[in-house]
């Protein structure tokens, strides 16, 4: 073998490994963002259809912070746990009640789409 071939082979292999690692990290980051967006939409739909609320907001309040973490990876999908904070106000006979809370859910994210595997029931009424 000519001198330098093993070094070139090693550098090519290292470059391929770096590209694959960045690809996996990019896919994980994208999956986290997709799951966060999906849960934000889910919470907004639930709160928007709740007749007892006088005011509400997603990603608001003093409750837990918005968060996502990957809990599993397969060849077909990435499983992501998410937390979405929200706040709402409802009127009672004793006056306004303010609530800061969060929805926790798990999503399975794939190239074909995503689905909510489990999650909190967001129905304040």
What are 91-104's pLDDT values in tens digits? 888 999 899 999 99
Low-confidence ranges of the chain (pLDDT < 70): 1-27
Cβ–Cβ under 8 Å, residues 120 and 105: yes
Q: How many angstroms separate the Cα of 54 from the Cα of each of 48, 57, 79, 85, 96?
A: 10, 11, 35, 18, 9
Q: What is the pLDDT of residue 30?
A: 84
- Contacts of residue 28, Cβ cutoff 8 Å, sequence gap at least 6: 70, 73, 78
Instruction: Map residue 19 onto helix, strand or coil.
Output: helix
Provide the CB-side half-sphere exposure for 80 (13 A, CA): 28
Q: What is the pLDDT of residue 9?
A: 53
Angle among Cα 53, 59, 63 to the nearest 5 degrees reads 85
Provide the CB-side half-sphere exposure for 36 (13 A, CA): 16
Question: pTM higher than 0.85 for the full model?
Answer: no
Q: What is the pLDDT of residue 6?
A: 65
Q: What is the pLDDT of residue 4?
A: 53
Pairwise CA distance, residues 99 & 97, whole Å: 7
Q: What is the pLDDT of residue 21?
A: 43
């Amino acid at each position: 073998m000519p001198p330098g071939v093993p070094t070139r082979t090693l550098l090519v292999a290292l470059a391929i490994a770096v590209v694959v690692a960045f690809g996996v990290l990019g896919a994980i980051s994208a999956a986290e963002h997709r799951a966060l967006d999906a849960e934000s939409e889910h919470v907004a739909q639930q709160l928007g259809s709740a007749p007892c609320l006088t005011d509400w907001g997603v990603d608001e309040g003093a409750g837990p912070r918005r968060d996502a973490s990957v809990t599993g990876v397969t060849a077909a999908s990435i499983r992501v746990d998410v937390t979405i904070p929200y706040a709402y106000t409802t009127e009672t006979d004793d006056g306004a009640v303010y609530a800061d809370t969060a929805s926790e859910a798990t999503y399975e994210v794939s190239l074909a789409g995503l689905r909510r595997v489990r999650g909190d029931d967001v129905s304040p009424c």
